[in-house]
Amino acid sequence: MSKENYDTKLAVLEALPQEAVKSPTIPVDVFMQEAENLFVWAEEDKETLLAKGLDWQMYGEDLPTRTGACRYAQAVWMKERYSQEEAAKAWREESPKAYEFRNDLLADLRFAFRKRLDLLARVRAIPDGEGDADMIQDLMDISVLGKANIAELEKAKYDLSNFDVAAQKSDALAELLAKANGATLDNSKAKEIRDRAYTHLKEAIDELRETGKYAFRKDPERYKGYISQYKRR
């Protein structure tokens, strides 16, 4: 049902003004459970809340739909977040090996081309840059240079399959690094929609709570149902 709620609300979420969008201030799973509890509680007070001016259809009746949309948006965000964290972990494991492989290939080429000053100059130019992206490009540059000078390498009885491996590693590492970098970004599409769904849900919760606390300010037994138990702790 959450997916259907999400689909129903997506256009509304995307239309929210950017300046109105808020990030959660309490755990989202707790917030959604409190929303479900609030709906059950407020249904018993529907007539009283209506009498105080609450738009029940917008804030009461719509609360389960908003909650379902937020639940699904949170699930999508968590899936993306964990995928990024897994990529970051894999990158931390693979990148040292990739740097070593790159350095070994450069050493191989410097030896193989030691009597060809023109090729040796090209080898020396490859590692000029710095950083992970440059290392990934280095692997591709090495592959291209090696495959373009097979005759020289065959004289040295060099294993030419290393250049295929270098190209494959370059592609795979580029994709892995892109995913890993996403783990440090807070502006992903999934998080943006999750924050919008949270904001939309919070709007209804705030209206219900504020109206309920006013309507039952002299009735402690009903008043307590409109207070966040998480914030109360």
pLDDT in tens, 99-144: 999 999 999 999 999 989 999 999 999 988 889 999 999 999 999 9
% of the chain exceeding 70 in pLDDT: 97
Cβ neighbours around 6 below 10 Å, total: 21
Q: What is the pTM of this model?
A: 0.66
Greatest extent of the chain over all pairs of C-alpha atoms, in Å = 94
Q: Is a pLDDT exceeding 80 seen at residue 186?
A: no
Q: What is the pLDDT of residue 91?
A: 93
Residue 230 pLDDT class (50, 70, 90 cuts): confident
Q: What is the pLDDT of residue 155?
A: 84
Side-chain-side CA neighbours of residue 10 (13 Å)? 10
59-75 pLDDT, tens digit each: 999 999 999 999 999 99
Question: What is the spatial distance between Cα 213 and Cα 43, in angstroms, rounded to a whole number?
Answer: 15
Cβ contacts of residue 28 below 8 Å, gap of 6+? 70, 74, 194, 198
Q: What is the pLDDT of residue 79?
A: 84
- Residue length, the chain? 233
Cβ contacts of residue 220 below 8 Å, gap of 6+? none
Is 51:213 a contact under the CB 8 Å cutoff?
no
3-class SS string, 128-154: HCCCHHHHHHHHHHHHHHHHCCHHHHH
% of the chain exceeding 90 in pLDDT: 78
Higher pLDDT, 130 or 17: 17
